[in-house]
Structure 1
Amino acid sequence: MSSFLINNILWLKAFHVFFMIAWFAGIFYLPRLFVNHAETKSTDVAQQLKGMEKRLLYFITPFAFFTLVLGLAIIHAYGLDWFVAAKWLHIKLSLVILLFVYHGYCFKLVKTFAQDENTRSGRFYRIFNEVPVLILLVIIILAYVKPM
């Protein structure tokens, strides 16, 4: 691999990680807002949380797509032979798909809260908040340890 290609891959990786961190900051915080929203009795607080939830979700969504596009660019830069041989990456990509499903479900939850139709408890959202944490842990192990 040429030094030019290696240098480009490193830049792609740096921005991929940056956008992934920005995305996850929001994905970790949004369910905490859901917890507060599910547990509040105050309509004023609920109104404020509705705005915060919507703004946060729309703010972090581009980060999710930049993460994906840069990840795909890295795969393209390494090439098809590398992709086929990197079994760990196939699992990672499956988990990324799961994260996009989670992210999409957050849009449904924001809409549910906006329409005052939430029926789930704060406990549900506390558990819901752990899903991306666990997925991220596995993704990091796969990406850095490459156990397969």
Structure 2
Amino acid sequence: MSADPGSRRVIDFLVQNFNLVRGLHILAVIAWMAGMLMLPRIFVYHMSAEPGSRMDAVFKQAELRILRIIINPAMILATVFGGLLILADSAIRGWGFLLQPWMLTKIAALIFLFGWHGFMAGARRKFANDQNTRSEKFWRMTNELPFIAAIIIVLSVTTKFLNH
């Protein structure tokens, strides 16, 4: 059974513009990572603000904006462009690449990033409601987790574990 002509045109467009889609995916990931690295650092600084103070309100507003204006849209765009890359890749080399160790590693790191994203969104709500239970040390220690996941993803994709 073959794909309908409209779907085939979309896939052909994606294959022909693979580098453009990949570039847009990378830009979205950069924005997502920037926000994911910024938010826990803001949490660290927020912890020194007196609850109910002007600074407390400023941090709450900054946290909300970072999540809603940077992190969430960038994650959505990174996911959409990533999905389009998977479609294009499947047309180029079949669906088998999804089961390659490098891709399974990327997927595992992505699952972590999605979970961490959700965890930080929940933490932001706790800060907004003056119910943060985490320490400044916790936020300092976990601040770089998204970057570690990004390193794993980039190296797994770019090296494919040197298994060409």
Q: TM-score, normalised by structure 2?
A: 0.82
CA offsets, 1:53-102, max 9 Å, x none? 00110012011011011111111111134424532011101211110111
State which structure, 1 or 2, has the greater radius of gyration over its C-alpha atoms.
Answer: 2
Distance 1:37 1:81 in 2: 46
Give yes or no for the alignment of 1:48 onto 2:62.
Answer: no
Unaligned runs of 5+ in 2: 1-11
Amino acid of the residue matched to residue 21 of structure 1?
I
Distance 2:155 2:16 in 1: 24
What pairs with 1:116-135 in structure 2 (closer than 5 Å)? Answer: 116-135=130-149
Identity %: 32
- Alignment match, 2:38: 29
Aligned partners of 2:14 and 2:84 also within 8 Å: no
Inter-CA distance 11–32: structure 2 relative to 1 (3 Å threshold): same
Aligned partners of 1:39 and 1:121 also within 8 Å: no
- Alignment match, 1:143: 157
Cα root mean square deviation, aligned: 1.8
- Alignment match, 2:86: 75
Give the alignment partner of residue 19 of structure 1, picking from 16, 28, 39: 28
> RCO higher in 1 or 2 (8 Å CA, sep ≥ 6)?
1
Distance 2:17 2:131 in 1: 48
Give the paired residue count. 146
Distance 1:4 1:107 in 2: 35
Amino acid of the residue matched to residue 97 of structure 2?
F
Distance 2:54 2:113 in 1: 31
What pairs with 1:52-71 in structure 2 (closer than 5 Å)? Answer: 52-59=62-69, 60-71=71-82
Inter-CA distance 82–115: structure 2 relative to 1 (3 Å threshold): same
Unaligned runs of 5+ in 1: none
Amino acid of the residue matched to residue 22 of structure 2?
K
Amino acid of the residue matched to residue 122 of structure 1?
E
Amino acid of the residue matched to residue 9 of structure 1?
F
Secondary structure class of the residue paired with 1:146: helix
